[in-house]
Amino acid sequence: MFIGEFSHNLDSKGRMIVPSKFRDDLQAQFVITRGLDKCLFCYTIDDFKAIEGKMKELPLTKRDARRFTRLFFSGAAIVEVDKQGRINIPQHLRDYANLEKSCTVIGVSDRVEIWDSDSWNSFYDDSAENFEMIAEDLIDFDL
């Protein structure tokens, strides 16, 4: 389970330190891809394979299923954690998530998300204001 919020910077080569609390669970190699809300999603190889299995079940005749699957998988890359605990985030993913320097890395249960810090702060502020309303909408899911 991934939990917590951490601040890290990208260096000039597009490398970022993976929070130490996440490194063991993500392992030496993991998958990074386009996420929702202009962030990046990081999955263990096993979790990404499980997602792939579920996406194979999506109907090929549905346009949105084809679009989502294409964007999700075409953006994916396997990254390797180096001896300093860093990963090199591919340029196309940095561009997608507007990552330039300051990043916020958050744990979200089964995945890790990487955000541009300004984007995360804006998302957080907007969501925190509506936290109770969001919770009420999810209460039907027996949380």
| Cα gap 140→49, rounded to integer Å | 30
Residues in the chain: 143
Q: pLDDT for 58-89, tens place per residue?
A: 998 999 999 999 999 999 999 999 999 999 99
SS3 call for 27: coil
Q: pLDDT for 14-61, tens place per residue?
A: 999 999 999 999 999 999 999 999 999 999 999 999 999 999 999 989
| pLDDT reading at 130 higher than 90 | no
Listed residue (36, 38, 41) closest to 22, CA to CA: 41
Q: pTM of the prediction? A: 0.93
pLDDT at 141: 62
| Cα gap 24→131, rounded to integer Å | 31
Determine the distance from the C-alpha atom of residue 115 to the mean position of all C-alpha atoms in its chain, rounded to a whole number.
Answer: 8
| pLDDT reading at 5 higher than 70 | yes
Q: Which domains does the chain have, with CATH numbers?
A: 2-141 (3.40.1550.20)
| Cα gap 71→33, rounded to integer Å | 9
Q: Give the residue-averaged pLDDT of 99-124.
A: 97
pLDDT at 136: 79
